[in-house]
C-alpha cells in the first residue's frame, strides 16, 4: 500500500512573482519554488502544499497576513472558482508588468536570444467586456460551490450553463454574470437556460453521454451583429423549434441563429453540419476599410479592438513598400494577409483548415483585393521547394502559428528560403523563443513588441521582427 505523503504548512511566506500559466510564485524555507493559484506578488501568506515534486511544490493559501499593494477587488462573483480570469485580483498595470516580464524571461532564458530593447507592452483600452466570442457548456450535474457543499440545504437544481472548472472536463460552473462579453450575451445565455428548463429539455452529461443540450456559442462583432449557435447531442424537433423560436422572438437583434446536432463524444463542430434556424449563416466584422465574413467555424481574434493593434504592429514590422512578395503562414481566414495586402506586391496565404481558406478567398473578393492567393494544406508539407519555385521566393514572411509554435520542418524551410525579413506573431512566447533560437543562426532580432489581448488573464501576444544577417 502506497504511503500517503503529509501536506506541509509554511507560515508567513512572501509571494515573490507571477509565473507561467498565471500561477503566483513563492519560495519554501528550503529554497524550493512554490506555485500558487490564489495569491498576488507582495502578499504575505500561510501556504498548505497540495503536491510535492523534486524541484518544487504546488500549494494553496490558507491565510493572508498582509495583502499586496498590487491587489484589486475582482469584478466577478465567480472569481476563484471559474478559471477564466485568474488575474482579476491584480490591478491592470501590474498585470501588464508581469506579462512583459514573462515575454522577456522566455526570450532570454528559453531562447538564449540576443535582444534589442523590448518595447513596452500595448495594453487594452477595454479591461472587461472585450471578447467577441464566448462558448458555454450545458450540464445536468453542475459544480457545487464550497458554500453549497457546507450547507445542510438539499441541492435540487443541478443544471448549469457556464464554464468548465479548470482540470475538470465533466464539471461545469453555472454562471450568473460574465464580465468578458458585452450585452446581450448574458441575457441570451440566461434566457436559454430558463426556457430550456421550462420546456424540460435535458442538459448534457458527458460521462453518461445522455441529455440533449450540449453547448452555446455567442459571437458579437464590432458592427453589433450577433451570432448564436446551439449544439444539441440529439435532435428533439418540437422542443428545438420551441426553444429557438422563443430566442428569436425574445432577441430580434440576433443576426444569425444556428444549431447543429452533434452525436460525437467531443464538442468540436468543425466536422459537423451547421443549420440556420433564422437570419444569415454568417456575420460581418470590420477592420479599417476591410470587411470579413465570419461563419461559425471561422477563426477570428477574440478581442477585435486589440486585434487591430496587433495587426498594425505586424504591418509596421513588415516594412512594406509595395514591391514585396509576402508569405502569410498560418493565415487562418486571411485577416493579416488582407490587412497588409495594400502595401505589398502580392501576398500568399497558407493554412491547414480548408474552410478557413474558403473564407479567406471570399473575404478577399468582397474586399476587392486582387493581389492575394490562398492555399490549404499542412504547413510542413505545403511549404516546400516546389511551392516556392511556383510562387516565388518571399521578401517578407509573416508567421502566426498556434500555441505549439512552428513545426521544426517549417523553421528549417524558412532558413533554407532565407527571406530578408520575418515577422513572427505568437500567442506563446515560450514556443516562440524555441523557434527564434533556431532562426538566430541566420537572423538578427530587430524589434520585440508584446500586445495584451486578454486582460484579467496571464495570456499575452508577442510580435518579433527578424532581419537576415548580412
Enzyme catalytic residues:
427
Residue 27 host element (H or E): strand 24-27
Task: Say whether 437 sits in a helix, a strand or coil.
Answer: helix
Is the Cβ–Cβ distance between 379 and 407 less than 8 Å? yes
Query: 238 phi and psi, to 5 degrees?
Result: -65, -50
Residue 100 host element (H or E): helix 92-105
Cα angle: 263, vertex 265, 269; to 5 degrees: 65
How far is the CA of 134 from the CAs of 163, 190, 229, 296, 384, in angstroms? Answer: 10, 14, 11, 12, 37
* Burial of 386 (C-beta count, 10 Å sphere; 0-12/13-18/19+): exposed
User: Strands, DSSP E only, in 143-282?
Assistant: 160-164, 172-174, 213-220, 226-232, 256-261, 275-279
Q: How many helices (H) and strands (E) does the chain have?
A: 11, 21
Q: Which of left, alpha, beta for 138 (phi over 0: left; psi -120 to 50: alpha)?
A: beta
Which residues are within 8 A (CB) of 53 and not within 5 positions of it... i.e. 6 or more apart?
Answer: none
Please report how many Cα atoms fall inside a 13 Å half-sphere around the Cα of residue 246, on the Cβ side. Answer: 17
Nearest-CA neighbor of 277 among 247, 250, 236, 234? 247
Amino acid at each position: 500500500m502506497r504511503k500517503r505523503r503529509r501536506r506541509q504548512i509554511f507560515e508567513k511566506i512572501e509571494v515573490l512573482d507571477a509565473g507561467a500559466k498565471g500561477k503566483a510564485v513563492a519560495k519554501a524555507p528550503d529554497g524550493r519554488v512554490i506555485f500558487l493559484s490564489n495569491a498576488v506578488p507582495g502578499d504575505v501568506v500561510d501556504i498548505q502544499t497540495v503536491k510535492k515534486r523534486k524541484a518544487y511544490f504546488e500549494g494553496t493559501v490558507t491565510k493572508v497576513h498582509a495583502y499586496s499593494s498590487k491587489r484589486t477587488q475582482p469584478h466577478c462573483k465567480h472569481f476563484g472558482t471559474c478559471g477564466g480570469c485568474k488575474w482579476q485580483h491584480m490591478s491592470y498595470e501590474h498585470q501588464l508588468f508581469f506579462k512583459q516580464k514573462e515575454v522577456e524571461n522566455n526570450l532570454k532564458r528559453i531562447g538564449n536570444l540576443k535582444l534589442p530593447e523590448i518595447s513596452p507592452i500595448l495594453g487594452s483600452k477595454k479591461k472587461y467586456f472585450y471578447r467577441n466570442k464566448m462558448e458555454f457548456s450545458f450540464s445536468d450535474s453542475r459544480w457545487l460551490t464550497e458554500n453549497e457543499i457546507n450547507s445542510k440545504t438539499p441541492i435540487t437544481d443541478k443544471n448549469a450553463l457556464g464554464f468548465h472548472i479548470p482540470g475538470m472536463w465533466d464539471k461545469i460552473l453555472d454562471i450568473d454574470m460574465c464580465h468578458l462579453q458585452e450585452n446581450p450575451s448574458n441575457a441570451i445565455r440566461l434566457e436559454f437556460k430558463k426556457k430550456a428548463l421550462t420546456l424540460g429539455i435535458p442538459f448534457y452529461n458527458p460521462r453518461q453521454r445522455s441529455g440533449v443540450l450540449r453547448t452555446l456559442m455567442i459571437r458579437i462583432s464590432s458592427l453589433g451583429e450577433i451570432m448564436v449557435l446551439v449544439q444539441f447531442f440529439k435532435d428533439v424537433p418540437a422542443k428545438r423549434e420551441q426553444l429557438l423560436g422563443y430566442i428569436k422572438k425574445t432577441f430580434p437583434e440576433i443576426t444569425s441563429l444556428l444549431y447543429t446536432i452533434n452525436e460525437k463524444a467531443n464538442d468540436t463542430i468543425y466536422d459537423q453540419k451547421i443549420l440556420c434556424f433564422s437570419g444569415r449563416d454568417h456575420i460581418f466584422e470590420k477592420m479599417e476599410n476591410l470587411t470579413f465574413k465570419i461563419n461559425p467555424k471561422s477563426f477570428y481574434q477574440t478581442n477585435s479592438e486589440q486585434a487591430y493593434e496587433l495587426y498594425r504592429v505586424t504591418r509596421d514590422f513588415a516594412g512594406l513598400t509595395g514591391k514585396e512578395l509576402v508569405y502569410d503562414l498560418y493565415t487562418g481566414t486571411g485577416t493579416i494577409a488582407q490587412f497588409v495586402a495594400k502595401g505589398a506586391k502580392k501576398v500568399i496565404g497558407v493554412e491547414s483548415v480548408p474552410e478557413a481558406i474558403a473564407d479567406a478567398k471570399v473575404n478577399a473578393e468582397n474586399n476587392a483585393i486582387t493581389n492575394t492567393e490562398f492555399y490549404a494544406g499542412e504547413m510542413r508539407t505545403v511549404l516546400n521547394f516546389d511551392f516556392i519555385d511556383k510562387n516565388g521566393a518571399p521578401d517578407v514572411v509573416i508567421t502566426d502559428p498556434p500555441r505549439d509554435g512552428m513545426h521544426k520542418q517549417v523553421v528549417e524551410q524558412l532558413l533554407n528560403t532565407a527571406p530578408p525579413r520575418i515577422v513572427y506573431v505568437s500567442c506563446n512566447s515560450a514556443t516562440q523563443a524555441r523557434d527564434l533560437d533556431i532562426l538566430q543562426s541566420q537572423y538578427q532580432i530587430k524589434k520585440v513588441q508584446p500586445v495584451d489581448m486578454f486582460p484579467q488573464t496571464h495570456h499575452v501576444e508577442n510580435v518579433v521582427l527578424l532581419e537576415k544577417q548580412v
